[in-house]
Amino acid sequence: MARESESGTPVEPVYGPEALTGWDPATELGEPGAYPYTRGVYPTMYTGRPWTMRQYAGFGTAAESGARYRDLIAHGVTGLSVAFDLPTQMGYDSDAPLVRGEVGRVGVAVDSIEDMRELFDGIPLDRVSTSMTINAPAAVLLLLYELVAEERGIPGDRLTGTVQNDILKEYIARGTYIFPPRPSLRLTADLFAYCAAALPRWNTISVSGYHMAEAGASPAQEIAFTLADAVAYVRAALAAGMDVDDFGPRLSFFFVARTTLLEEVAKFRAARRMWARIMREEFGARDPRSWMLRFHTQTAGVQLTAQQPEANLVRVTVQALAAVLGGTQSLHTNAFDEAIALPTDKSARLALRTQQILAHETDLTATVDPFAGSYAVERLTDDVERAALGLLRRVEELGGAEAAIELGYQKGEIERNAYRIARETEAGERVVVGVNRFRLDEEEPYAPLRVDPALETRQRERLARLRARRDTRTADAALLALRAAAEGSANVLPPMKRALRAEATLGEVCDTLRSVWGTYQPPDAR
């Protein structure tokens, strides 16, 4: 009896040549580094060098997180990935009344250029690629990073990294939005244009399916809704007067890797093929770099269990294998204790060691795309692509990603799939080791990392000192100029940068934009 894939298509017990009837290898498969990039975006892939090994980290104060970054670099991390706390993600300063109890809890608090300096103290910004998981205030954090680099004499053309900057998925799955969709898309396009001139090597967006998957999206839903969002960003940039090849090569993506290894490999292959065709055929991109779907992968946080947490080491290894066999450009491996608390130094190091073992002790880097031509994987790739294209067409029928979001379409589809997964788990049809099968009578004690509750008070005091010593008139004048730009049609990043250089805070910048653009209210909250 056939099982169903996570996307709802049959998985047969045996696949043979008949699984690929009518399949044209030249069109569907191609060569690594060649259109439509089914086999990977680079000809040599990991045989030239391994993927970038990132570790997503951030907690407490800038000083504490900076120390963790320096430790990770010392242990072999080749790319940093910054986690910001919820107040920062929502555009509030640490002393805002709304954020009491949240400062530094799920990431690092960054209120001003002072915090950004401390966060990257002692880290060579021109030699480390930095990814920042930040969306609504992405422009603010990127400009703070650029300002710190400028203070050290590092020009913008030597900075490499990514800002997530994917606001549409926040309305669908994650919820850390600030402004309504229309001005948010304008801010995204402004950042594209600014980076094309000032930060040419920076990835201006990481269109994220990861958070949709964490909310319950199937693999087909994950890539369909992610690519639909990416199409909306391309259209917004084109409407702002940019040429597709001016920004297309700097677009990047962010996906999850689950434990269903074969379907995940198929998902990554299908996504590359779909994006190549969208960019070349729909948008007329001429630069082959614009056709390439380059992506970062994180192992599935939602699949980690607090029960028997050491078993997560095995889950993360399988998920990392799926990402590597699927051709990811960079990878974060979750720590085994993240279902309990923030990872400890030891668990973060073990997560990194998982990647290093895969890269240096296995033969995964010896050959490109080892699954190419596999009856099972090629058929699953076609199945995932077919299902995703159906969902993508439905989004287009509704008027595109933005219109579909306003109707609650993507959110509703994901919630229905999440409900199905929950029902199957509760019924025992979906096995979760340690949770609904192979349980222990008594869990072993575990000592998690704890954030010092006094850090919020210290961060508030730090902000008070900054406001007391800065040139308030200069900061206020810069914020007024930012407001004028937001009211008009000029790019808001240059005046925003001047305000941040004058030591305006993240919250003050975002409040200025809120006063012009308003805040978003989801349809079910109106």
Mean pLDDT of 340-353: 92
pLDDT in tens, 1-38: 568 999 999 999 999 999 998 888 878 888 999 999 99
Q: Which long-range contacts (CB under 8 A, 24 or more apart) does 245-249 make?
A: 245/285, 245/286, 245/287, 245/290, 246/196, 247/192, 247/193, 247/196, 247/204, 248/279, 248/283, 248/285, 248/287, 248/289, 248/290, 248/291, 249/287, 249/289, 249/290, 249/292
Every domain of the chain and the residues it spans: 48-426
User: Is 238 exposed, middle or buried (CB count within 10 Å of its CB: 0-12, 13-18, 19+)?
Assistant: middle
pLDDT in tens, 410-459: 999 999 999 999 999 999 999 999 999 999 998 888 887 777 889 999 99
By C-alpha distance, which of 8, 130, 5, 29 is closest to 79?
Answer: 130
pLDDT in tens, 48-96: 999 999 988 898 899 999 999 999 999 998 889 999 999 999 999 999 9
Query: Is the per-residue pLDDT at 525 higher than 80?
Result: no
Q: Are strands 3-4 and 10-11 parallel, antiparallel or unpaired?
A: antiparallel
Q: Give the pLDDT score at 21.
A: 86
Q: How far apart are CA 357 and CA 57, in angstroms?
A: 21
pLDDT in tens, 97-107: 999 999 999 89
Q: Give the pLDDT score at 512.
A: 98
The whole-model pTM stands at: 0.93
Q: Give the pLDDT score at 443.
A: 86
Confirm if 107 and 473 have CB atoms less than 8 A apart.
no
Beta strands in 179-236 (DSSP E): 202-203, 205-208
pLDDT in tens, 277-301: 999 999 999 999 999 999 999 999 9
Query: Is the per-residue pLDDT at 171 higher than 60?
Result: yes
Query: Is the per-residue pLDDT at 304 higher than 90?
Result: yes
Q: Give the pLDDT score at 110.
A: 98
pLDDT in tens, 458-489: 999 999 999 999 999 999 999 999 999 999 99
pLDDT in tens, 380-389: 999 999 999 9
C-beta neighbour count of 42 within 10 angstroms: 18
Owner of token pair 């869990």: 443
Looking at residue 419, its amino acid is Y
Query: Is the per-residue pLDDT at 392 higher than 90?
Result: yes
Query: Is the per-residue pLDDT at 507 higher than 90?
Result: yes
pLDDT in tens, 393-410: 999 999 999 999 999 999
Mean pLDDT of 124-153: 97
By C-alpha distance, which of 166, 150, 226 is closest to 384?
Answer: 226
297 has which bridge partners?
A: 255, 331
Q: Give the pLDDT score at 342.
A: 85
Query: Is the per-residue pLDDT at 526 higher than 60?
Result: no
Report the topology of domain 48-426: TIM Barrel (3.20.20)
Helix (H) or strand (E) run with residue 406 in it: helix 401-407
pLDDT in tens, 198-248: 999 999 999 999 999 999 999 999 999 999 999 999 999 999 999 999 999
Query: What is the CA 479 to chain-centroid distance, rounded?
Result: 29
C-beta neighbour count of 160 within 10 angstroms: 18
Owner of token pair 């409900």: 419
Q: Give the pLDDT score at 34.
A: 96
Q: How far apart are CA 320 and CA 259, in angstroms?
A: 9
10 has which bridge partners?
A: 4
User: Residue 148's pLDDT band (boundaries 50, 70, 90)?
Assistant: very high
